[in-house]
A and B are shown apart, each in its own frame.
Chain A
Amino acid sequence: MNSDPLWSIFINASLINNFVLAYFLGICPFLGVSGKMETASRMGGAVTFVMLVTAVCAFGIQQLLLLIDAPYLKLISFIAVIASTVQLVEMFIKKMSPTLFRALGIFLPLITTNCAILGLALFQTNKGYGFLQCVVYALGAGAGFTLALVLMAGLREKLALAATPDVVKGTVLTLVLAGFLSVAFMGFAGLGS
C-alpha cells in the first residue's frame, strides 16, 4: 500500500507530472480541441469526469483481479470498463441533463481512445494507491489535463491572428507551444517534496 499524502498526490498529478506535458498522455485531444477556449474547458471537464468514474471502477476491478489472481486480464478489463463507462456516462448525461449533454456530447465518444484515461487506470494500480488516493489522483490528473488544454487554447487564440508562415501553421505551431509549456511546467518540480 502506498502512503503518499493526498495533497502531494494531487500536486504531483496536476502540476509536476502533468499528464499531457510530462507523460504525453492525451496528446490527440490536446492537439485537436485546443483551438478554442470554450471547447477546451468543456473537454477538460468531460475528461475529468470520466477519469473520476474510471478511477473508481479501475480500483474495484484491481481488487477483484487480485482476489481471483488473474493479473493477465488487467488490460482487457480496463479497456472494456473504460469503453462501457464512456457509453454509460453518455447515456446517463443525456437522460439527466440535456444541457450538459449538448455541451459535452461530441467529446464523450472521443474519450474512449484518450490514452490519459487508460494511463490513469494503469498508473494508479502500479503505484498501489488506496481508494481515496485513487480519487484524488484522478481529480489531480483531470485538473492537470484541463489546465494544459486551457493554457494551450489561450495561447492559440492569441496567435490565431498573428502572421505566421504557412508551413508552421497548425500542428507544428501547437507542438512548439506545447514544448514551451512543458519547459514552464518543469519549474513545478520539487513542489512535492
Chain B
Amino acid sequence: MNASSTATPTGTWPMYRAMVGVGLVCGILIVTVFRVTLPVIERNQAEALQQAIFQVLPAARSSETFQAVDGGFRPLGAAAPTGELVYGGYDDSGALIGLAVEAQGMGYQDIIRVLYGYSFEENAIVGLRVLESKETPGLGDRIETDPAFVRNFERLDVSLSEDQTTLAHPIHAVKTGEKEHAWQVDGITGATISSKAIAEILDRSGSAWVPRIRRALDQFRKADQP
C-alpha cells in the first residue's frame, strides 16, 4: 500500500516474503474453515428449505427438488442447483400433494421474496411464506404477521382459464373486508402497497408457472405412484 514511500532501505525480497508468507497462511486458514463448515452450512440450508416447503404445503411429509428444463421438469438429484427450481411435496405414502414455487417482486422498501405452495387437488395456493423482505417494521411487515392476511393464502384460487394458458381470474388485492371471491387477497389497512405487492407477485408468478406445472404434472409423480 505504501510502496511508493520507499524512505527506509527495505529490499524487495523481504516485502515479497512477507506478503506471500502471510497470504499463504491466510489462504490455508480460509480454505480449512471453508471445508470444515461447508457440510454444516449445506445441511442448515437444506433444513431451512425443507421447513419452508412443509410450511407452505402443510400436508407434505417429504420433498424433492425439480429443475425446469426444455419442455418440462427433471428431478435435480444431487446435482448443483442451477436455473429455475420448483419443489415437489409428497405425503406419507409418496403421493404428490403439490409444488412449492419461489417468486419475487418489488415491495414498498425493497425486493420481497416469497415461497408459495400450489396444491393440485384444490387448484389453489395453500400456503405462503415470506423468505425475505425489508418492509417497514410495524406496518409493511404485517404481510408476515397479520393473521387475517395470512389466512388469505390458506386457499387462494388459481384455477386456469379454459385454454389452459393463464389464470382464469387474475389475483389482486382488495380493501380490507371486501374480499368476495377465492382469487382475491384481502389487503391490510396501513400496508396497502405491501399487500398489493404480494398479490402482484403471486399473480405474475402464478400465471407463468401454474400452466407450465399442470402441463408437466406426471413428471412430478414418483414412479411407483398412480
Contact = CB atoms under 8 A, between A and B. Distances in A.
Nearest to A87: B1
Contacts of B197: 193
A72 B136 CA distance: 33
A4 B107 CA distance: 12
A190 B191 CA distance: 11
A8 B106 contact: yes
A192 B110 CA distance: 8
B30 A192 contact: no
Interface string A48-75: 0000000000000000000000001100
B31 interface: yes
Counting chain B residues whose Cβ lies within 8 A of the other chain, the interface size class is: 10 to 19
Nearest to B197: A193
Contacts of B26: 76
A119 B161 CA distance: 46
B136 A189 contact: yes
Given A73-B30, A76-B30, A83-B1, A189 B108 contact: yes
A16 B111 CA distance: 12
B193 interface: yes
Interface string A118-129: 000000000100
B1 A17 contact: no
A82 B215 CA distance: 49
Interface in B82-112: 106-111
A193 B106 CA distance: 6
Contacts of A193: 106-108, 193, 197
Interface in A87-116: 87
Interface of A: 4, 8, 12, 16-17, 72-73, 76, 83, 87, 127, 186, 189-190, 192-193
The 5 closest A-B pairs by CB, nearest first: A72-B34, A193-B106, A190-B108, A189-B109, A190-B193
Nearest to B1: A83
A193 B1 CA distance: 43
A190 B193 CA distance: 7
A193 B136 CA distance: 15
25 contacts: A4-B106, A4-B111, A8-B106, A16-B109, A16-B110, A17-B109, A72-B31, A73-B30, A76-B26, A83-B1, A87-B1, A127-B111, A186-B136, A189-B108, A189-B109, A189-B136, A190-B108, A190-B193, A192-B106, A192-B110, A193-B106, A193-B107, A193-B108, A193-B193, A193-B197
Interface string B108-137: 111100000000000000000000001010
Given A73-B30, A76-B30, A193-B106, 20 more contacts: A4-B106, A4-B111, A8-B106, A12-B110, A16-B109, A16-B110, A17-B110, A17-B134, A72-B30, A72-B31, A72-B34, A127-B111, A186-B136, A189-B136, A190-B108, A192-B106, A193-B107, A193-B108, A193-B193, A193-B197
